């Protein structure tokens, strides 16, 4: 998985835009959906190739207690990928990565940053999607307290370690079913109108073919995307 690293568009229906004079101090915040009407995704949603699952997770909602985040940026990691932890084989640390799709794979980066991944594909495959960035939907005060930052700028949630911190996660959440109500769950959400793609971040140790793979995905037109942004481009549909 990735080593630790931490264009305005036309307004979309699920985003609130602030006045121009406020843009340097604030960022678009997602409108709060009626969470009573939003259901967790079914396990079958996750049982597909990681590269297919990754863009499908954009716009979905991560919920733990009062904190709800909209997923805005992800990276895919396959079993035969030299940037994936599966390259080490199944170990006590990586065992959740080889579980059924729809479970969490949570690990510590540099012993400090808690990284949340969504396991993809069938049992035994060893593939996942790293959650790189999110936008706040609800529970902003809790997010700011956990992050120790009283801001609503994108720096609050752009970077994978920040997501784990905002959700209050530890590695004890590894293997948790994200399709089951309660605890940590992924809810359905609106699909983005356009998607950006680019190479993944911080994997220079991998083989060249994996370094250049366009397996990083982000919602186009949102500032809630981590650096570097200049390696992202609009996804072309064949």
- The least confident of 29-33, 69-73, 142-146 is 29-33
Q: CATH class for domain 43-234?
A: alpha beta
pLDDT at 9: 37
Regarding predicted confidence, which is higher, 66 or 11? Answer: 66
- The least confident of 9-13, 30-34, 44-48, 118-122 is 9-13
Mean local confidence (pLDDT), 158-168: 98
Say how far apart CA 179 and CA 184 lie, in whole Å.
Answer: 9
Do β-strands 67-77 and 128-138 pair in parallel, antiparallel, or remain unpaired?
Answer: antiparallel
- Domain ranges across the chain: 43-234
Q: What's the helix, strand, coil split of the chain in %, to 5?
A: 20, 25, 55
pLDDT at 38: 86
Mean local confidence (pLDDT), 131-141: 97
Mean local confidence (pLDDT), 74-87: 96
Mean local confidence (pLDDT), 124-131: 97
pLDDT single digits (tens) 184-234: 999 999 999 999 999 999 999 999 999 999 999 999 999 999 999 999 999
Tokens of 8: 């305005």
pLDDT single digits (tens) 13-41: 333 333 333 333 456 556 656 777 788 99
pLDDT at 83: 97
pLDDT at 174: 97
At residue 12, does pLDDT exceed 70?
no
At residue 142, does pLDDT exceed 90?
yes
Full-model pTM: 0.87
For residue 153, how many other CB atoms are within 10 A of its CB?
A: 14
Say how far apart CA 36 and CA 34 lie, in whole Å.
Answer: 5
Name the band, by pLDDT with cuts 50, 70 and 90, for residue 44: very high
pLDDT at 109: 87
At residue 10, does pLDDT exceed 80?
no
pLDDT at 91: 93
Say how far apart CA 159 and CA 78 lie, in whole Å.
Answer: 21
Q: Cβ(197)–Cβ(220) under 8 Å?
A: no
């Amino acid at each position: 998985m990735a080593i630790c690293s931490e264009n305005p568009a036309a307004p979309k229906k699920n985003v609130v835009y602030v006045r121009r004079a406020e843009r340097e101090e604030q960022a678009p915040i997602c409108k709060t959906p009626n969470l009573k009407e939003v259901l967790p995704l079914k396990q079958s949603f996750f049982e597909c190739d990681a590269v297919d699952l990754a863009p499908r997770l954009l716009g979905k909602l991560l919920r733990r207690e009062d904190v709800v985040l909209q997923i805005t940026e992800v990276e895919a990691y396959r079993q035969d990928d030299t940037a994936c932890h599966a390259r080490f084989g199944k170990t006590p640390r990586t065992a959740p990565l080889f579980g059924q799709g729809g479970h969490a794979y949570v690990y510590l980066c540099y012993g400090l940053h808690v990284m949340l991944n969504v396991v993809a594909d069938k049992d035994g495959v060893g593939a996942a999607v790293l959650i790189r960035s999110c936008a706040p939907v609800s529970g902003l005060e809790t997010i700011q307290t956990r992050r120790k930052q009283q801001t609503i700028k994108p720096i609050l949630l752009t970077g994978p370690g920040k997501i784990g911190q905002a959700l209050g996660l530890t590695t004890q959440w590894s293997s948790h079913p994200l399709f089951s109500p309660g605890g940590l769950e992924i809810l359905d959400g609106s699909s983005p109108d356009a998607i950006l793609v680019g190479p993944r971040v911080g994997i220079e140790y991998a083989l060249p073919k994996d370094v250049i793979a366009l397996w990083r995905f982000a919602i186009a037109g949102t500032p809630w995307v981590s650096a570097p942004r200049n390696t992202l481009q609009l996804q072309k549909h064949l």
